[in-house]
Amino acid sequence: MKILVLNSGSSSLKYQVIDMETEKMLAKGYFERIGQPNSFLTHKVNGQSHKFEHPARNHEKAIEFVLSRLVNENYGVIKNLGELAGIGHRVVHGGEKFSDSVIITNEVLEEIKKCSDLAPLHNPACIRGIEACKKIVPNMKMVAVFDTAFHQTIEKEKYIYPIPYRYYEKYGIRKYGFHGTSHQYVSHRVAEIMGKDIKELKIVNCHLGQGCSVCGIKNGKSVETSMGLTPLGRNSYGK
């Protein structure tokens, strides 16, 4: 089974094609400057990198071109789009609605749109990627994977801020946490390497990169994290 994973940014698109049976990445790429002059795609397959200067005025045109590369006889990794079992979309914010990955339906898409106020730079871009795929491959199954979902197990006493409660009720201002997909994967990998049942472990997990966060994980569930309402909203521990 092969899947296509998309990460849609405001003017960019990252992707990978993964063979789930072998867990091997077959191809990856990065489309830059979408909607701008001189947009281009860097497509990597079989250890080789190929650069294509291609005009893409929106995400739909960018995704169309990416799919054409995936089935290309020289640069592709599938014979036709029918080989794809589905498309996964990384979505930054799922609010309080989503505590796990979900099949994308019209109702799910509307809920993702409602979360755009909480992630105005990210969710609209994710939505554009989802809507573009719905047009290009309308019968393809799609799944949304949320950065915030893993942290929905944090207790209310820890995610509510010490500010007037009406701000939480009216505007949803609370700690959400991010990097959930990374923290969830790494914690399970730690348990696997240690040969332990994750439900028996307490783990402090560190995500280090362009954005950094720390997560306390108990019995496989997030119990505390350093990111708050936004990735820049951090806790002050020890105070």
Please report, for the domain that includes residue 80, its CATH number: 3.30.420.40
Q: Are residues 10 and 121 in the same domain?
A: yes
Quick one: pLDDT at residue 50?
97
Which one of the listed residues 19, 117, 147, 197 is annotated catalytic? Answer: 147
Q: Are residues 52 and 107 in the same domain?
A: yes
Catalytic, 19? Answer no
| CA distance readout (Å), 57 to 31, 33, 36, 116, 152 | 12, 9, 7, 22, 36
Quick one: pLDDT at residue 211?
87
3-class SS of residue 206: strand
Quick one: pLDDT at residue 235?
56
| Number of domains into which the chain is organized | 2
User: Among residues 146, 167, 185, which one ends one of the domains?
Assistant: 146
Half-sphere exposure of 224 (CA within 13 A, CB side): 10
Whether 123 and 92 have beta carbons less than 8 Å apart is answered as yes
Quick one: pLDDT at residue 232?
82
- Can you list the residues of the chain whose pLDDT is less than 70? 234-239
- Tell me the residue range of the domain where 3 lies: 1-146
Quick one: pLDDT at residue 237?
42
Quick one: pLDDT at residue 231?
84
pTM: 0.92
Quick one: pLDDT at residue 238?
37
